[in-house]
């Protein structure tokens, strides 16, 4: 029963993280309005921190963008790279600008809640 609860908790975090990271993502002239565009931009900005999980997610689901995004979030939760992404995103103005100013991922309180929930799941 503990395994089901743990799996359920992780799935809830995947869903919450996916929703949070796509909330009010509108894109800009440098980025499209898809999470995968943000992931690629951030992996270029921080290749040593974020590149390997982005590459792994693309390799897992080469033909389906939404599956790549979900795969990356799962990898990012367990590797700790989701925390890195949300902590580093505001330092990349061209990426942060792809979100509306009212986006959840640009809200310090929301980011702190997501980090607090995800950080203990790092393997």
Structure tokens at 79: 């590797």
- Give the structural domain span for 56: 2-121
pLDDT of residue 115: 86
Model confidence over 61-106: pLDDT tens digits?
A: 888 888 888 888 888 888 889 899 988 988 899 999 999 999 988 8
- Interatomic CA distance for residues 48 and 44, integer angstroms: 9
Residue 29 has φ and ψ, to the nearest 5°, of -70, -15
14, pLDDT greater than 90: no
99 DSSP β-pair partners: 25
Confidence band, pLDDT 50/70/90 cuts, at residue 110:
confident
The string of pLDDT tens digits covering residues 16-58 is 777 888 889 999 999 999 988 999 999 999 999 899 988 998 8
Maximum separation of any 2 CA atoms in the chain, in Å: 48
Q: pTM of the predicted model, to two decimals?
A: 0.82
d(CA 94, CA 96) in angstroms, rounded, equals: 6
Query: Encoding tokens for residue 71?
Result: 């795969």
Give the total number of structural domains in the chain.
1
- Residue 2 is predicted with a pLDDT of 45
**Taking the CB of residue 48, how many other CB atoms lie within 10 A of it?**
7
Which pLDDT belongs to residue 6?
Answer: 60
Query: What is the CA angle 56-92-99, rounded to 5?
Result: 85
- From CA 78, how far away is CA 53, in angstroms rounded? 10
pLDDT for the residue numbered 91: 85
Confidence of residue 119 (pLDDT cuts 50, 70, 90): confident
Among 4, 14, 120, CA closest to 57: 14
């Amino acid at each position: 029963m503990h395994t089901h609860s743990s799996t359920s908790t992780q799935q809830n975090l995947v869903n919450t993280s996916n929703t949070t990271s796509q909330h009010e993502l509108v894109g800009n002239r440098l980025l499209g309005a898809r999470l995968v565009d943000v992931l690629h931009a951030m992996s270029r900005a921080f290749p040593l921190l974020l590149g390997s999980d982005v590459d792994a997610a693309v390799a897992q689901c080469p033909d389906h963008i939404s599956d790549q995004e979900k795969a990356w979030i799962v990898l990012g939760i367990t590797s700790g790279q989701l925390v890195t992404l949300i902590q580093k995103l505001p330092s990349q103005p061209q990426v942060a600008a792809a979100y509306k100013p009212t986006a959840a991922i640009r809200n310090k309180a929301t980011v702190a809640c997501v980090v607090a929930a995800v950080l203990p799941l790092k393997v």
